[in-house]
Amino acid sequence: MLRSYVRRRIVPFSWRGRAKRLFSSGVDASIPPITPIEKIIMDGIKATGPISFSTYMQMCLSHPTQGYYMNPRNPIFGAKGDFVTSPEISSIFGEVTGGCVVDVALDATAANTNNRAWAGARDTYGGYSSRQSSAKGEFNAEALAQVVSQFAGDHLKEVVLVETSPTLRALQEARLSPSAAKYGCTLEWRESVDDIPVSKEEYFTMVVAHEFFDALPFHTIEKTEHGWQELLIALAEEPEAYPRFRYVLAPEPTAASNLLGMSSPRFKADAPVGTRLEVSPSSFRTMRDIGELLALSRGCGLIIDYGAAHAFSQSFRAFKNHEIVDVFHAPGECDLTANVDFAFLAEAVRDLDLPTHGPLTQAAFLENMGLQLRVEALVRGQD
């Protein structure tokens, strides 16, 4: 996915050493003012001590009123926002992905009239259950149109979206309602994956998670001579310093850091001292919830995101105005993201007897799903 072209590069960024311009008052004009979320986090650290990467990310993105995705004042998407995703560049991505949903579902549900679609926060798609979480709904709308046109009337019972942001819910409703009304299916919203009701009726469920897992909170652990210790976020040593936060290592291993270090058989106890790992229990739990839903409904899933089949050490980054900025820059006003460990997601569903495949590149996926044929049809002027 293109959140913007620079997102493909994981580039460390620091405000230190940048040119500064001082007003006559002596105030550093290059240092932005403290944001509401920044003030909340600073006060919390003063009261209780350093916080985890997970807590920092949750506060910045999901605070009920000031979080990046919860505050309607943040433009977020498009040219005036902070990043651009593939569905905003062309409708072809949503069409091709929706075609994948249709192909799989038609094979599995030829005689089934009980299908439902559900969707969720920032880009997931479920077919007959369709889960989506998506931006303004560009991806959802194009993919949903492909799905509901094949499963209209009695065959498609409902579309359930999982989305926590009221602002994004309104945008999704505006984009999706015309297709839902046209094909006679209902739209519903849920707060999380585990809020989706499991019906006693036989449903086929298709889940597509598009740029979803990269926004879930994670922890960072570091291997020391004493074991795995968590990397935390503390206040800067000097009150006037910028950024206003810094990284510190927990003074000793804790039960939590030891559990994180043992959360995958790939995380070796004899890893070299200094090894760092980004570990997302939230991603593991969410993937587990999705897996249990798929296991009950004989469904399948498609995960589209930044990452690879291994853990990362320093992929945490922030985006503002289509540029990578320091992760401590303007908390609550920047997008935060980290690469996805696809092997960790596969481990979450391994005992559910759900086979996993990939990951493969987005280019290979789109080519396999007929991207070239669709482009040629558009060039010829065919819908």
Q: What is the structure's pLDDT at 144? A: 61
Q: What is the structure's pLDDT at 298? A: 75
Q: Which CATH architecture has domain 86-216+282-379?
A: 3-Layer(aba) Sandwich (3.40)
Q: What is the structure's pLDDT at 154? A: 54
Assign 150 to helix, strand or coil: helix
Q: What is the structure's pLDDT at 309? A: 97
Q: Which residues of the chain have pLDDT under 50?
A: 1-27, 111, 113, 118-139
pTM: 0.81
Which of 370, 383, 356 shows the shortest CA–CA distance to 93?
Answer: 370
Q: What is the structure's pLDDT at 2? A: 38
Q: What is the structure's pLDDT at 186? A: 80
Q: What are phi and psi of 345, to 5 degrees?
A: -65, -40
The domain ranges of the chain are 86-216+282-379
Q: What is the structure's pLDDT at 3? A: 44
CB–CB of 131/208 below 8 Å? yes
Task: Return d(Cα 142, Cα 139) in angstroms, integer.
Answer: 5
Q: What is the structure's pLDDT at 283? A: 96
Q: What is the structure's pLDDT at 204? A: 76
pLDDT in tens, 34-55: 999 999 999 999 999 999 999 9
Task: Return d(Cα 171, Cα 166) in angstroms, integer.
Answer: 9
Task: Return d(Cα 70, Cα 79) in angstroms, integer.
Answer: 20
